[in-house]
Amino acid sequence: MITALLLFWPALAALLVLLIKGQGAKKVAFVAALVEFAIAIVATTGFDAASGATQFELNLPWVENAGIGFHIGMDGISLLMVLLTTFLVPLIILSAFKHDYKNPNAFYALILFMQTGLIGVFVALDAFLFYFFWEVALIPIYFIAAIWGGVNRIPVTFKFFVYTIFGSLFMLAAFVYLYFQTGATELAAHSSDVQAFYQLALSAESQSWIFWFLFIAFAIKMPVFPFHTWQPDTYTESPTQATMLLSGIMLKMGIYGVLRWLLPVVPMGVSQWDELVLILSIIGIVYGSVIAIRQHDLKRLIAYSSIAHVGLIAAGIFTLNEQGLQGGVIQMLSHGINVTGLFFIIEIIYRRTNTREITSLGGITQNAKALSIFFMILLLGSVALPLTNGFVGEFLLLLGVYNYNAWFGAVAGLTIILSSVYMLRMFQGVMFGTKSEHTEAFTDLTFNEKAVLIPLVIMVFWIGLFPNTFLSISEPAVGNLLNIINR
């Protein structure tokens, strides 16, 4: 039941928020998101971390005759993703407090509505339900970006929308095919339940086809090189809150999709193509990092760095060993936290200076000590300094990749060099040096901004120092996943 509550509470709250006129909407939205987070915490305390089984399950008939069920539930991986979502959404709402958007009720209602979609993706245990929420999550973000975005928003968001829909259709086609394969051996009806998909025994050739259909959908969402070109533009043009939602949470949908719907469903397909996927991902790492080195727009720089980080997660996951998978899961959390924080810091700088160009900034650290500290910590998390969250993930991921193939590991490892190059270059350009005309009267963080950054920084150190809190939640689930794959 608690899963259903988690799923529908934001949608209900969204309807409520929609009714409120004026800027009061954000407060209601914030409280609603906090309540959602509290529900997630309650769910976590009731969660049996030692068991790899799906918990808090709810299986109602949806299209009963066709074997399509409203099947939701959480295992360790889902729970972590739900925690990430519910943790970040209140902060994302809070981060918008100082920004008076037009039609605030619609803006915040869309964010909450999106939360339902995101949580739905993470808890759905039926292929068509998954597909449903996958698309549900896309609609609000499209409107947020297209209504409240930058100058170029219309073509950019349109491209983003068409691009992801294009990918989703492949996924739908694959699901329909798989659906018709279920129950083929006996007289039993077809089913789109995740377990039914796991039990399919397809030929290697059809697995190979299905692999690509599903992979394209997920790869576009992540995005993996060379399906990434929607991302820098969309991140740059969207309002910061949308960018945070996209990079912090939505991108994890793609990775989660791989974990839940790709690896265990078509293991033979994976074993045929994993090397190619790893190569693509590793190209993405180097490619994204190298491009990030010369970007001068802060948002675009982080967008390219995100391609690199996600490339590493994808590479780690496709190694199909425990270090890689666990590293991928923990890195999803870390990346969500770091990238959200970094985008917020860019927003803070933009609010005060009206520019995101590195060349027109500088010397901010002289005026804003607190900002420097937060920025530094988040940056260190993202360059994977030990004892911050990024290290645990990258260490495990690189170990996984190295285990798969030492040369791949070495090339993927370039990320630790290149990330320090572009991140420090950014930090130096923005924070150090002499003040520019834009940063002359820079003011330090306000209470509201600190309120967003402090929880993020706490998480940076929590995951960095005590990763086992989270690793132990996903460990049985990852073990299960490996069992299914290696069956």
Partner 1 sequence: MQEIVMPFNNQAMALLCLLIPLLPLIGFIVNGLGNRKLAKGMVSLIGCGTVLASFLISVYLFVDFTANGSRAYTVDFYNWISVGDMQIGFSFLIDQLTLLMMLMVTGIGFLIHLYSAGYMSHDENFGKFFAFINLFMFSMLLLVMGSNYVMMFVGWEGVGLCSYLLIGFWNKNTNYNNAAKKAFVMNRIGDLGFLLGIFLIFITFGSVSYPQVFAEAARYTGGIDSTVMIAITLLLFVGAMGKSAQIPLFTWLPDAMAGPTPVSALIHAATMVTAGIYMVLRSNVLYVLAPTTMEVIAIVGIATALLAATIGLAQNDIKKVLAYSTVSQLGYMFLALGVMAFDSSIFHVLTHAFFKALLFLGAGSVIHAMSNEQDIRYMGGLRKYLPITFLTFLIGTLAIAGIPPFAGFFSKDELLAHVWEHNKLMWGLGLLTSFMTSFYMFRLVFLTFFGTFRGTEAQKSHLHESPISMTLPLIVLAILSTIGGFLGIPAVFGENMHLLQNYLAPIYGYAQVANAAAVAPLHIEHSTEWMLMGISVAVAVVAIILAYVMYVSKKQVPAAEGTKLSPIHNLIYNKYYIDELYNAIIVRPIMWLSSIFHKVFDVVIVDGVVNGVGKFVVQSSRTLRFAQSGAIGFYILIMVVSIALILFLNFFIG
Which CB, 201 or 376, lies closer to partner 1?
Answer: 376
**104-123 vs 24-45: helix crossing angle, rounded to 10:** 20
Which CB, 120 or 223, lies closer to partner 1?
Answer: 223
For the record, the structure tokens of 62 come out as: 């949806």
Which CB, 28 or 298, lies closer to partner 1?
Answer: 298
Task: For 113-136, give the DSSP string.
Answer: HHHHHHHHHHHB-BHHHHHHHHHH
Q: Are 479 and 400 in contact (CB under 8 A)?
A: no
Nearest distance from C-beta of residue 102 to partner 1, angstroms: 29
Which CB, 25 or 445, lies closer to partner 1?
Answer: 445
Which CB, 73 or 413, lies closer to partner 1?
Answer: 413
Nearest distance from C-beta of residue 352 to partner 1, angstroms: 19
Which CB, 152 or 472, lies closer to partner 1?
Answer: 472
Which CB, 43 or 397, lies closer to partner 1?
Answer: 397
Residues 303-333: b if buried by 16+ CB within 10 A, e if exposed: bbbbbbbbbbbbbbbbbbbbbbbbbbbbbbb
Residues 60-81: b if buried by 16+ CB within 10 A, e if exposed: eebeeeebbbbbbbbbbbbbbb
Nearest distance from C-beta of residue 440 to partner 1, angstroms: 14
Nearest distance from C-beta of residue 64 to partner 1, angstroms: 39
CA gap 275, 37 in Å, rounded: 39
Residue 257 carries which side chain, given as an amino acid letter? Answer: G
Kindly state the DSSP code that residue 190 receives in the 8-state scheme.
Answer: P
Nearest distance from C-beta of residue 474 to partner 1, angstroms: 10
Q: Are 22 and 104 in contact (CB under 8 A)?
A: yes
Nearest distance from C-beta of residue 122 to partner 1, angstroms: 22
- What residues contact residue 290 under an 8 Å CB cut-off, 6+ apart? 418
CA gap 164, 161 in Å, rounded: 5
The dihedral through the CA atoms of 359, 312, 119, 227 has a sign that is: positive
CA gap 424, 349 in Å, rounded: 17
Which CB, 31 or 465, lies closer to partner 1?
Answer: 465
Nearest distance from C-beta of residue 475 to partner 1, angstroms: 7
Nearest distance from C-beta of residue 360 to partner 1, angstroms: 15
Residues that bind partner 1 (CB under 8 A): 159, 162-163, 226, 228-230, 287, 290-291, 293-295, 322-323, 326-327, 363, 365-366, 369, 373, 380, 385-387, 391-392, 395-396, 398-399, 402-403, 406, 409-410, 413-414, 416-417, 420-421, 424-425, 428, 431-434, 465-468, 471-472, 475
